[in-house]
Amino acid sequence: MPELAPTLAVIGGGQLARMMAQPAIALGLPLRLLAEAPGVSAAQVIPDHRVGDHRDLATLREVTAGCPVVTFDHEHVPTEHLHALEADGIAVRPGPDALVHAQDKGVMRERLAALGVDCPRNAIVTGPADVEAFGLPCVLKTTRGGYDGKGVWFVEDTAGWAEACAEAFAVAEETGVRILAEERVDFRRELSALVVRAPSGQAAAYPVVASTQRDGICHEVVAPAPDLDPDLATHAQQVALRIAGELGVTGVLAVELFETTDGRVLVNELAMRPHNTGHWTQDGAVTSQFENHLRAVMDLPLGSPAPRARWTVMVNILGGPDPEVGRLWDGYPHAMARDPQLRVHLYGKEPRPGRKVGHVNAYGEDLEDCLERARHAAAWFRGDLGNESE
């Protein structure tokens, strides 16, 4: 085969890499994947893959050999390895100096403070006395390694606070990460401002969405966020674009925000990869976040982030409470017959309880209708219709 296009290396074989494969097929962009185990989500659909450890530099070098660019399914590749790959002449996108802000919440908070971006009040704490001085209630977070509700402790102003605190510092002791204390924000809801930035600085901002978490896991997204003040929406997009620019992000930047009860937005988290709050774009936007991530890291002009429908609702499919419920596949006859407009995205993962195994998108003119359709379908796949309503 003659080389028709450069090959993009992707580190990490989860569902985000899997969903990059779809636009890569259309773009004629070959992907080369490093998967953490045989048969993981993305390895099922990307022929050119090998299995290995993303913490091993030799493995990273082997996978990226001959690839002009490397990008990521997750944020867990050590910073020093990213610098080594850059020194080898590979374009690392997003680069280590940007990515560290998504890897380390302490670094992120310091940098956002320096930029004057509104964040929850926060401080690095080294022991229970610091936490008491910071003030209760508060949230303790490991600065590195947490995701989907892991590495987060809600410390209440009650008798049990010292135990929660002790647990956090035990993890810190064990793993060597720092602990960040943050105020409990009195928020109306969570928002997400997702932008994509190319190496040139060209950038595209998707509509700001509202997201609902359950047990620390993204559960539902509504695009655009209903009844959001237009000035606040524009401000959130500007904040996300400014962070992307100041940090030199290449690819998707998802800025998760608290909308406070007094009408401000505070930055909660940053992610520098396609993000759960952008899955609605697969069916609801002209260009999906996955395609625009590929276009950005390959230094191509970005596609339009404009919505294609008045409303798009995404609901995650989690593994249900009953492991006997069986294959998600068996949910198709009802779900598809009930809603011929429903868009289903499965990840090729075994549905263990609480595990993200897919999502559904429903779009249309009527928000209530979209919510009902997406929630019903996700609950149906979970085998748990009793929990359907919000």
Q: Which residues bind a copy of itself (CB under 8 A)?
A: 1-6, 18-19, 21-22, 25-28, 30, 39, 43-47, 49, 286-287, 295, 300-304, 306, 308, 327-329, 332-333, 336-337, 340-350, 358
Least separation in angstroms between residue 32's CB and a copy of itself is 12
In degrees rounded to 5, what are phi and psi of residue 319?
Answer: -60, 140
Least separation in angstroms between residue 304's CB and a copy of itself is 4
Q: Which lies closer to a copy of itself via its Cβ, residue 219 or residue 295?
A: 295
Check the annotation: does 220 bind a ligand. no
Check the annotation: does 184 bind a ligand. yes
Check the annotation: does 183 bind a ligand. yes
Q: Which lies closer to a copy of itself via its Cβ, residue 151 or residue 351?
A: 351
Least separation in angstroms between residue 11's CB and a copy of itself is 18
Q: Which lies closer to a copy of itself via its Cβ, residue 145 or residue 348?
A: 348
Residue with tokens 């022929």: 47
Q: Which lies closer to a copy of itself via its Cβ, residue 146 or residue 354?
A: 354
Check the annotation: does 390 bind a ligand. no
Output the six-digit token pair for 52.
């290995």
Least separation in angstroms between residue 208's CB and a copy of itself is 20
Q: How far apart are CA 335 and CA 382, in angstroms?
A: 12
Least separation in angstroms between residue 97's CB and a copy of itself is 26
Check the annotation: does 50 bind a ligand. no
Q: Which lies closer to a copy of itself via its Cβ, residue 153 or residue 381?
A: 381
Check the annotation: does 190 bind a ligand. yes
Least separation in angstroms between residue 287's CB and a copy of itself is 7
Q: Which lies closer to a copy of itself via its Cβ, residue 153 or residue 380?
A: 380
Check the annotation: does 182 bind a ligand. yes
Check the annotation: does 269 bind a ligand. yes
Binding site for ATP, by residue number, is 105, 141, 182-185, 190, 268-269
Binding-site residue ranges? 105, 141, 182-185, 190, 268-269
